[in-house]
């Protein structure tokens, strides 16, 4: 293990969602154009040095972005885009409907967003199931059925609320005698992928008075929870009952009223509730500084009017300078009311509220002797506004221009463009920061940083390592892998989502903190070298294109090895560099995944000689081979005295000590499992020295006897990745990939937008293996399912503007795929959306990571299209660490540029690569996908 110190500036995060960074970090560069006519002292603020794509720009919206506008005359205006928590309400109202006994349920919200009502009903007498789909005549237009239990209905813009806000509303007709006792719902903000619930439970609107009391029934109970996360706590819930019964009228009811059913009498006539809610939204504010020359007592002076619509208490820290050095000085009085000196280097002025308007302002008068006005802004004692880490600077014109206004067009010819450098400079008076601020920062850091020392930003480590590895690529060009000594201690999981922040806002601008992060030494080393010369075995060159060379039915022919041998040249011509072969051992199941005698290689796919011949043939055509090694479990040959199958035979005649003790079916006498149990066969205890020794010898024998170049490791969830590291170091494979497959995160049957926890578990396993093996990117496959099934291409960009799977965090260890023998073929456990396979391949075959193509897709109608995509990848030398710029991630289209050589898009929406330094030509095109190459 080693300790690596990184000096970083961490933004203040709100709660656990790193998406909502509220700290103002150094911002983008801009150009200034200044007219030489000081009477017309206008400053035209240009664009950044580089153009940001829409999605890239979107990823910057989690920090306030200050950009200047072209303003007339001598007014300089800056816009501030920042994420803020805003308060709103959800309104739930049950009222009379169109029919005499019909009712209408309204659910509305006054916050901006793309709101979806996810709802279902509970029928009278239902037992064990709260959600069902409502009757057809109850479903509003535009709704979508979710399996057999729910409906999703978009909220539409309707009227204005009492506060003047736009309402988003849905109305549900409740017919009389429909047998429904309650309506259940949750509210989803589709843009943010966030669910609003009640204390982590669904909301239930009771339609009968005696519904059994429950904490999630609409009423004065607990407030909303925002799920996932801890935002959106609602304070109070107000109930306005509209059940007003007139005793006198009841006494005059005729006999016909007595025939009204008990159910009708049991229905509430109506109610109304306002549910407070909070949400993170983008808010645009502005800062405006107007300057004007004027005469007073025979002297020329500068009058500055400063105003902003930023909410809260605003303090301007300001000063003046005499030349281009921009050294702060304190000007002579007069000062605005309430101004105080700050260490004789600057002035602090509290802005005053503007009469009848939002925001605050100040009026500042300066002597004419100064050439510039400098300032920074502070909001509510915890937020600083600067420009690119520099102070705001407003040039002040000299009085000579008052005498020669001249022609504006002539003067504009002398305009100069000035680029502000993007350095992280601090306040000019940083060295005299008040002690109370320093103490606050010190106390805060010491109190909180201990909890997150190893968690705050380890993902940045691997991103930096990936960058270094890419830079080193052209230096090291060797196809022979080398090996290193790896640590034997179990490394900690290092890439985790930060839970809390440890730095005060001012610190993140003014005082970068040193953060200590513990990572596996060997993992860092292995990432620091080039693609072709990896420091550890098992990671290939980075240019691998993997073919799964079988499906679930391949064993049935009895001669699969010979069939593969016949098509080996064709696979090579298609561009594949590695083929994954089926499990070779004797097995209880014909597919090979219930191995028995590991040294018996006569299987349903063929015999040992045919396997050797197949591997030799693949080597002759330039393709390396992976053996499918099932190490997690093994089927026994004999029963013990209790009739349990836990005694092994063959060359590895283990007894029940080789089986984990917590496998409930096989009475093992080993230690407890280091992973999840596979209950169909005895789970092997890899902590036993004799087991590891035998397995290492077996893998080395396969390498030598058969000629395998590497491994596909089955069910690696079942044992600790540190054992994999041991096996890889012993067998020295060229390439290795583990199958770490568990369930993604779902809410009400829908894939969650944020799958960080899922890919984190895969990352943890790779790190446990010390980076010596890659893993199948199950996260990416699952997200592609939702993208293509629901036309939600925005899911392909995570909260940081990166790919949302393992490929977005550790691309050199991500083996991307869309289908395999388990998910597709005749098993179909998790089949890729039918007819949309080529969009999936257009994604993985153009992106970083190591792509894997399923046998069934290669020899199908997609064969030529897959070959074309592989050709583009190889022709442009796209590799596992290629650079990726996501250009667009909207509902109906996703687009990206890879290595500035290849542009791609999937989805029915429009995208064309931007014209600039490259000219793009269309290389491959299919249904809802296009690939371009730079010429």
Residue pLDDT, tens place only, 540-584? 999 999 999 999 999 999 999 999 999 999 999 999 999 999 999
- Average pLDDT, stretch 21-29? 30
pLDDT at 96 over 90: no
First to last CA, the chain: 46
pLDDT at 53 over 70: no
Residue 884 tokens read as 């990726």
What is the spatial distance between Cα 345 and Cα 348, in angstroms, rounded to a whole number? 10
- Looking at residue 160, what is its pLDDT? 66
340 burial type by CB count under 10 A (0-12 exposed, 13-18 middle, 19+ buried): exposed
- Looking at residue 127, what is its pLDDT? 60
Q: Residues of the chain with pLDDT > 70: what percent?
A: 68
- Looking at residue 89, what is its pLDDT? 86
What is the spatial distance between Cα 180 and Cα 207, in angstroms, rounded to a whole number? 7
More confident residue, 204 or 442: 204
pLDDT digits (tens, 9 = 90+) for 207-259: 776 544 444 555 433 333 333 333 333 323 333 333 343 444 444 444 444 43
Which DSSP string corresponds to 506-534? HHHHH-PEEEEEEE-HHHHHHHHS-SSS-
Catalytic choice (504, 739, 798, 899):
739
Q: What is the 3-state secondary structure (H, E, C) of 533-551?
A: CCCCCCECCCCCCEEECCC
With bands split at pLDDT 50, 70 and 90, how would you rate the model's confidence at 501?
A: very low
Q: What is the pTM of this model?
A: 0.51
pLDDT at 521 over 50: no
- Average pLDDT, stretch 259-288? 68
pLDDT digits (tens, 9 = 90+) for 584-625: 999 999 999 999 999 999 999 999 999 999 999 999 999 999
- Looking at residue 604, what is its pLDDT? 96
Do 784 and 840 touch, CB atoms closer than 8 A? yes
pLDDT digits (tens, 9 = 90+) for 301-314: 888 998 998 888 99
- Looking at residue 496, what is its pLDDT? 33
- Looking at residue 484, what is its pLDDT? 30
Do 534 and 850 touch, CB atoms closer than 8 A? no
pLDDT at 193 over 70: no
More confident residue, 400 or 182: 182
Mean pLDDT across the chain: 75
- Average pLDDT, stretch 195-208? 76
- Looking at residue 476, what is its pLDDT? 38
CA-CA-CA-CA torsion sign (712, 717, 718, 720):
positive
The answer to whether 597 is a known catalytic residue is no
pLDDT digits (tens, 9 = 90+) for 721-774: 999 999 999 999 999 999 999 899 988 778 899 999 999 999 999 999 999 999
pLDDT at 692 over 90: yes
- Looking at residue 539, what is its pLDDT? 86
pLDDT digits (tens, 9 = 90+) for 851-899: 999 999 999 999 999 999 999 999 999 999 999 999 999 999 999 999 9
- Average pLDDT, stretch 290-299? 81
- Looking at residue 485, what is its pLDDT? 29
Q: State the DSSP code for 124.
A: T
pLDDT digits (tens, 9 = 90+) for 369-395: 888 899 998 888 778 888 766 788 888
Residue 801 tokens read as 């503007």
Determine the Cα angle at 871 with ends 869 and 874, to 5°: 110
What is the spatial distance between Cα 382 and Cα 700, in angstroms, rounded to a whole number? 61
- Looking at residue 59, what is its pLDDT? 29
Residue 252 neighbours by CB distance under 10 Å:
8
Where is 619: in which H helix or E strand?
Answer: helix 608-620
What is the spatial distance between Cα 632 and Cα 680, in angstroms, rounded to a whole number? 11
- Looking at residue 406, what is its pLDDT? 36
- Looking at residue 649, what is its pLDDT? 94
Q: Using alpha carbons, select from 222, 230, 276, 360 the residue that is nearest to residue 86.
A: 276
Catalytic choice (202, 628, 663, 714):
714
The answer to whether 739 is a known catalytic residue is yes
With bands split at pLDDT 50, 70 and 90, how would you rate the model's confidence at 50?
A: very low
What is the spatial distance between Cα 333 and Cα 310, in angstroms, rounded to a whole number? 27
More confident residue, 793 or 235: 793
- Looking at residue 200, what is its pLDDT? 63
What is the spatial distance between Cα 119 and Cα 106, in angstroms, rounded to a whole number? 13
**Pair type for strands 624-629 and 578-580:** parallel
What is the spatial distance between Cα 28 and Cα 41, in angstroms, rounded to a whole number? 24
What is the spatial distance between Cα 53 and Cα 62, in angstroms, rounded to a whole number? 16
Q: Residues of the chain with pLDDT > 90: what percent?
A: 44
With bands split at pLDDT 50, 70 and 90, how would you rate the model's confidence at 836?
A: very high
With bands split at pLDDT 50, 70 and 90, how would you rate the model's confidence at 163?
A: low
Where is 55: in which H helix or E strand?
Answer: helix 54-59
- Looking at residue 283, what is its pLDDT? 76
- Average pLDDT, stretch 653-680? 92
Peptide bond into 228 cis (omega under 30): yes
With bands split at pLDDT 50, 70 and 90, how would you rate the model's confidence at 352?
A: very high
CA-CA-CA-CA torsion sign (691, 694, 696, 698):
negative
With bands split at pLDDT 50, 70 and 90, how would you rate the model's confidence at 396?
A: confident
pLDDT at 264 over 90: no
Which DSSP string corresponds to 214-265? -TTBSSSS--EEEESSS-------EEEE-----HHHHHT--GGGGGS-HHHH
With bands split at pLDDT 50, 70 and 90, how would you rate the model's confidence at 97?
A: confident
Q: Using alpha carbons, select from 580, 513, 517 the residue that is nearest to residue 545.
A: 580
What is the spatial distance between Cα 320 and Cα 328, in angstroms, rounded to a whole number? 6
């Amino acid at each position: 293990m080693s300790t690596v110190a990184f000096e970083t500036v961490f933004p203040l995060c709100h709660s656990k969602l790193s998406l909502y960074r509220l700290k103002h970090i150094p911002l983008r560069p801009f150009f200034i154009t200044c007219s030489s006519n000081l009477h017309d002292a206008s400053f035209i603020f240009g664009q950044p040095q580089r153009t940001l794509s829409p999605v890239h720009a979107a990823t910057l919206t989690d920090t306030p972005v200050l950009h200047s506008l072209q303003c007339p005359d001598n007014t300089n205006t800056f816009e501030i885009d920042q994420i803020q928590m805003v308060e709103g309400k959800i309104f739930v109202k049950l009222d009379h409907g169109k029919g005499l006994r019909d009712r209408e349920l309204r659910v509305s919200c006054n916050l901006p967003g793309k709101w979806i009502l996810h709802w279902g009903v509970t029928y009278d007498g239902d037992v064990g199931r709260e959600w069902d789909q409502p009757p057809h005549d109850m479903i509003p237009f535009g709704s979508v059925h979710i399996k057999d239990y729910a409906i999703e209905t978009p909220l539409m813009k309707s009227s204005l609320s009492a506060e003047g806000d736009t309402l988003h509303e849905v109305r549900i007709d409740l017919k009389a005698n429909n047998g429904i006792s309650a309506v259940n719902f949750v509210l989803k903000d589709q843009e943010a992928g966030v669910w609003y619930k009640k204390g982590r439970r669904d909301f239930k609107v009771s339609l009968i008075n005696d519904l059994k009391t429950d904490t999630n029934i609409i009423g004065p109970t607990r407030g909303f929870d925002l799920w996932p996360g801890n935002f959106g706590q609602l304070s109070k819930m107000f109930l306005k009952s509209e059940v007003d019964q007139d005793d006198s009228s009841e006494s005059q009811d005729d006999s016909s009223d007595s025939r009204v059913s008990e159910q009708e009498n049991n229905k509430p006539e109506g109610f109304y509730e306002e549910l407070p809610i909070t949400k993170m939204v983008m808010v645009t504010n502005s800062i405006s500084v107007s300057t004007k020359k004027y005469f007073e007592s025979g002297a020329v002076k500068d009058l500055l009017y400063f105003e902003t619509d930023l909410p809260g208490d605003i303090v301007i820290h300001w000063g003046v300078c005499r030349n281009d050095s921009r050294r702060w000085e304190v000007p002579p009085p007069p000062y605005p009311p309430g101004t105080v000196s700050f260490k004789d280097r600057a002035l602090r002025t509290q802005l005053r509220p503007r009469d009848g308007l939002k925001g605050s302002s100040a009026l500042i008068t300066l002597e004419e002797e100064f050439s510039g006005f400098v300032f920074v802004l502070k909001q509510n004692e915890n937020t600083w506004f600067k420009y690119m880490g520099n102070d705001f600077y407003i040039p002040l014109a000299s009085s000579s221009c008052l005498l020669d206004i001249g022609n504006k067009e002539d003067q504009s010819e002398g305009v100069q463009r000035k680029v502000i450098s993007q350095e992280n400079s601090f306040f000019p008076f940083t060295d005299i920061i008040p002690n109370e601020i320093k103490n606050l920062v010190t106390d805060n850091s010491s109190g909180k940083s201990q909890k997150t020392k190893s968690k705050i930003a380890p993902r940045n480590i691997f991103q930096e390592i990936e960058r270094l590895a890419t830079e080193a690529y052209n230096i090291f060009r060797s196809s022979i892998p080398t090996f290193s000594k790896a640590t034997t201690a179990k490394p900690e999981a290092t890439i985790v989502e930060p839970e809390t922040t440890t730095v005060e806002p001012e610190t993140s601008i003014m005082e970068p903190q040193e953060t200590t992060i513990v990572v596996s030494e060997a993992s860092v080393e292995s990432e620091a070298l080039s693609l072709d010369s990896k420091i550890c075995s098992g990671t290939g060159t980075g240019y691998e294109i993997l073919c799964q060379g079988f499906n679930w039915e391949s064993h049935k022919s009895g001669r699969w090895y010979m069939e593969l041998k016949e098509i080996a040249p064709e696979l090579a011509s298609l561009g594949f560099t590695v083929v994954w072969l089926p499990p070779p051992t004797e097995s209880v199941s014909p597919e090979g995944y219930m191995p028995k005698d590991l040294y018996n290689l006569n299987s349903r796919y063929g015999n040992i000689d045919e396997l050797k011949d197949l591997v030799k043939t693949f080597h002759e055509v330039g393709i390396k081979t992976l053996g499918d090694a099932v190490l997690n479990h093994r089927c026994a040959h004999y029963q013990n005295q209790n009739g349990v199958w836990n005694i092994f035979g063959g060359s590895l005649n283990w007894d029940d000590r080789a089986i984990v003790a917590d496998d409930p079916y096989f009475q093992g006498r080993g230690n407890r499992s280091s992973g999840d149990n596979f209950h169909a066969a005895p789970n092997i205890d890899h902590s036993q020295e004799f087991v590891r020794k035998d397995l290492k010898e077996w893998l080395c024998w396969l390498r030598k006897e058969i000629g395998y170049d590497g491994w596909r490791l089955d069910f690696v969830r079942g044992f600790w990745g540190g054992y994999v590291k041991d096996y890889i170091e012993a067998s020295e494979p060229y390439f290795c990939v583990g199958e770490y497959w568990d369930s993604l995160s779902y809410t009400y049957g829908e894939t969650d937008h944020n799958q960080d926890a899922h890919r984190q578990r895969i990352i943890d396993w790779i790190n446990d293996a010390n980076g010596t093996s890659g893993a199948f990117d199950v996260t990416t496959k699952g997200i592609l399912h939702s993208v293509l099934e629901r036309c939600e291409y925005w899911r392909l960009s995570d909260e940081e503007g990166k790919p949302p799977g393992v490929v977005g965090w550790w691309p050199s260890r991500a083996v991307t795929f869309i289908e395999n023998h388990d998910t597709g073929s005749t098993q179909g456990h998790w089949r890729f959306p039918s007819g949309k396979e080529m969009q999936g391949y257009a994604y993985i075959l153009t992106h970083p990571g190591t792509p894997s193509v399923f046998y069934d897709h290669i020899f199908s109608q997609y064969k030529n299209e897959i070959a074309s995509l592989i050709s583009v990848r190889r022709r442009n030398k796209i590799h596992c660490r290629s650079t990726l710029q996501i250009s667009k991630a909207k509902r109906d289209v996703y687009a990206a540029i890879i290595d500035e050589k290849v542009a791609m898009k999937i989805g029915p929406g429009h995208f064309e690569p931007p014209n600039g330094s490259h000219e793009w030509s269309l290389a491959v095109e299919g249904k809802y996908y296009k690939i371009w190459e730079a010429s």
